[in-house]
Amino acid sequence: MTRALHVAVALLLLAAGPAAAQQREMPQSRQQIELSFAPLVKQAAPAVVNVFAEKRPQQVNSPLLNDPVLRRFFGDQLQRRARPMMSLGSGVIVRPDGYIITNAHVIRDADDINVVLNDKREFTAKVVLRDDRVDLALLKIDASGLHALQLKDSDQVETGDMVLAIGNPFGVGQTVTSGIVSAAARSAAGIGDFGFFIQTDAAINPGNSGGALLGMDGTLVGINTAIFSQSGGSIGIGFAIPSNIVRTVIDAGEKGAKQVVRPFLGVSGQPVTNDIAQSLNLPHPGGILVDSVTPGGAAAEAGLKRGDVIVQINGKDVGDAGELRYRVTLIPVGEKGQMTIVRNGKTENLTFTAKPEVLPQDEVEVRQGPLAGVTVASLTPGLADQHGQRVKEGVLVLDVADGSPADQLGLQKDDVILRANGAPVNSSKALSATLQKSRAISLTVQRGDQVFQAVAR
């Protein structure tokens, strides 16, 4: 008996109840035996595309070409032609008129983006909006009448639901894998600013990035974005960005926005552990113990105080800072939200208005010197809240280019630079001024709860 037949028999017996399971009767028809996702795949596959992002190299000429004799005889050999860099990923058509969602890392730094549809048609795509904070990008191709997937409310996804992952792993062509939702609300540090994902054991491999995580009703429940792996291949731990976050990027792009403006709650805190719960006489661990409330923020105006415990946002439990930011970001700016808190052992509800976050105004990209490749901004209370930082002063690392001097120095996204060459730095301008004075640099960096030194000469 094949594995598919075993599965089909088991499902039929379970559906029939314990008595039937004990009888172990064999199925009597092909319809009872056959178990296939083919109808679902046929319906959804045309909406999943291949994304090819190409970065054109700068041509580097040898100085020997300045010699006319050498140029005449050896020009082709002396001229070094770098090959274009190509990245491969997947995407999902979300609107019939050519809007496609994919991962931001798939098209980052690309000069040309081409999209190949399931029917082999190829289009040049333009970037409508790229949101590195959640690793999503909205593309647009000049087409109409396309098959598009509808987005599911990802809050309806439950652990144990069956899902399909559709994409183009390793460039072998469109591939479908199946699995279940391993966790419906998984915090995964280091993947985007919100760190809130749907975890699945459906096989996801390089090239699947930007592809569809599909529910059994044919709707899009998430965008496949990352895997946990020590080998580079799937070991059954994959992460997808929930469709509710995907929807915020699509809506912003369709309205012509160049960036997604999200709500700013204005609060920092720590997860309530078992010890904290016992000290506060809470029935069980869970929620966020408020450490500080930003004056003028939405939380402060709602009456939140230091020492309160936030347990829910709009009726949804929150267990850590990533989940709190996720729940808040789903509330449109200007609309009301409800925060359930525990104060002095009593449960209260606070109503707040979602205020727009203040985006960094002094963002600086260092292009030369020992910190070349790092992008920083002055750490403000709002920025600290958005990135889950408990420290309130310093310079926040927004991005680090792969292979750059800053990357080799060991800097990472969301690090906070506290001091440079022994002097406190509380603005990106102060850091830039220090870099201009000296080629050698010694940094005091905070990463999470750890503080370390980074030295470059």
CATH number of the domain enclosing 216: 2.40.10.120
Confidence of residue 19 (pLDDT cuts 50, 70, 90): very low
Local confidence band at 2 (pLDDT 50, 70, 90 cut-offs) = very low
Task: Out of 26-35, 233-242, 403-412, give the one with best mean pLDDT.
Answer: 403-412
Domain shared by 316 and 252, yes or no: no
* Cβ-based burial of 277 (10 A; exposed 0-12, middle 13-18, buried ≥19): middle
Cα 256 to Cα 128: distance, rounded to the nearest angstrom? 8
Q: What CA–CA distance (Å, rounded) separates 23 from 42?
A: 36
Q: Which of 87, 105, 385, 427 is catalytic?
A: 105
Q: What would the mean pLDDT of 369-382 be, rounded to a whole number?
A: 84
Which pLDDT band holds residue 34 (cuts at 50, 70, 90)? low
Q: Give the tens place of pLDDT for each residue, 403-441.
A: 888 888 889 988 999 998 888 888 888 888 888 787 788
Confirm whether 187 is a catalytic residue: no
User: At residue 387, does pLDDT exceed 80?
Assistant: no
- Block residue for tokens 């009597």: 28
**Lookup: tokens for 3:** 């594995």
Q: How many CA atoms lie within 13 A of 142 on its CB side?
A: 2
Higher pLDDT, 4 or 318: 318
Comparing 317 with 61, the larger pLDDT belongs to: 317
- Same structural domain for residues 31 and 89? no
pLDDT of residue 21: 42
Among 337, 356, 375, where does a domain finish?
Answer: 356
- Of the candidates 54, 136, 148, the residue with the CA atom closest to the CA atom of residue 99: 148
DSSP letters for 338-384: EEEEEETTEEEEEEEE-EEP---SS-EE--SSTTTTEEEEE--HHHH
Residue 73 has pLDDT above 70, yes or no: no
pLDDT tier for residue 36 given thresholds of 50, 70 and 90: confident
What pLDDT shows up at residue 439?
Answer: 75
Q: Is 105 among the residues known to form the active site?
A: yes
Q: In Å, how far from its chain's centre is CA 271?
A: 21
Q: How far is CA 124 from CA 53, 54, 148, 210, 456, in A?
A: 10, 11, 18, 17, 42
Instruction: Give the range among 42-56, 235-249, 319-333, 355-369 with minimum mean pLDDT.
Output: 355-369
Alpha helices in 167-319 (DSSP H): 243-254, 274-279, 298-302
pLDDT category of residue 3 using cuts at 50, 70 and 90 = very low
The mean pLDDT value of the chain amounts to 83
Q: How many domains does the structure of the chain reveal?
A: 4
Given a cut of 70, whether residue 343 has pLDDT beyond it is yes
Model pTM? 0.74
- Whether 292 and 193 share a structural domain: no
List CB contacts of 105: < 8 A, sequence separation 6 or more.
135, 209
pLDDT of residue 380: 76
Residue with the larger pLDDT of the pair 347 and 108: 347
Last residue of a domain, one of 229, 260, 291: 260
Which of the following is catalytic: 87, 154, 182, 209? 209
pLDDT of residue 249: 95
Higher pLDDT, 167 or 389: 167
The answer on 68 and 95 residing in a single domain is yes
Tens of pLDDT, residue by residue over 187-234, are 665 555 566 889 999 888 888 889 999 999 999 999 998 877 556 666
Pairing of strands 355-356, 450-456: unpaired
| pLDDT digits 0-9 by tens, 86-124 | 778 999 999 999 999 999 989 988 889 999 999 999 999
Tokens coding 321: 């800072």
Phi/psi zone of residue 448: left (φ > 0), alpha (ψ -120 to 50 degrees), beta?
Answer: left
Residue 76 annotated among the catalytic residues of the structure? no
Average pLDDT over residues 298-317: 94
Residue 120, sorted as left (phi over 0), alpha (psi -120 to 50) or beta, turns out to be: left
Range with lowest mean pLDDT among 168-177, 239-248, 250-259, 305-314? 168-177
Considering the domain architecture, whether residues 192 and 44 belong to the same structural domain is answered as yes
Share of the chain above pLDDT 90, in %: 41
Q: Which of 339, 356, 373 is the last residue of a domain?
A: 356
291 with 352, same domain: the answer is yes
Same domain (yes/no): 19, 60? no
Whether residue 99 contacts residue 91, with contact meaning beta carbons closer than 8 Å, is answered with no
DSSP-H helix ranges across 218-333:
243-254, 274-279, 298-302, 321-329
Q: Quick one: average pLDDT of 66-73?
A: 54
- Give the per-residue pLDDT at 78: 46
Phi/psi of residue 204, nearest 5 degrees: -125, 130
CATH of the domain at 339: 2.30.42.10
List the domain range (segments joined by +) for residue 7.
3-35
The answer on 115 and 153 residing in a single domain is yes
Same structural domain, 275 and 307: yes
Across 69-78, 216-225, 375-384, least confident range: 69-78
- Choosing from 135, 201, 308, 415, the catalytic residue is 135
Decide which of 300 and 55 is more confident.
300
Judge whether 263 and 331 are in contact, CB under 8 Å.
Answer: yes
Looking at per-residue confidence, does 144 or 391 come out higher?
144
Give yes or no: residues 320 and 392 share one domain: no
Higher per-residue pLDDT: 32 or 444: 444
Q: Is the model's pLDDT at 166 over the cut of 90? A: yes
Residues 322 and 198 in one domain: no
Backbone angles phi, psi at 427, to 5 degrees: -155, 155
Position 10 scores a pLDDT of: 47
Residues 25 and 122 in one domain: no
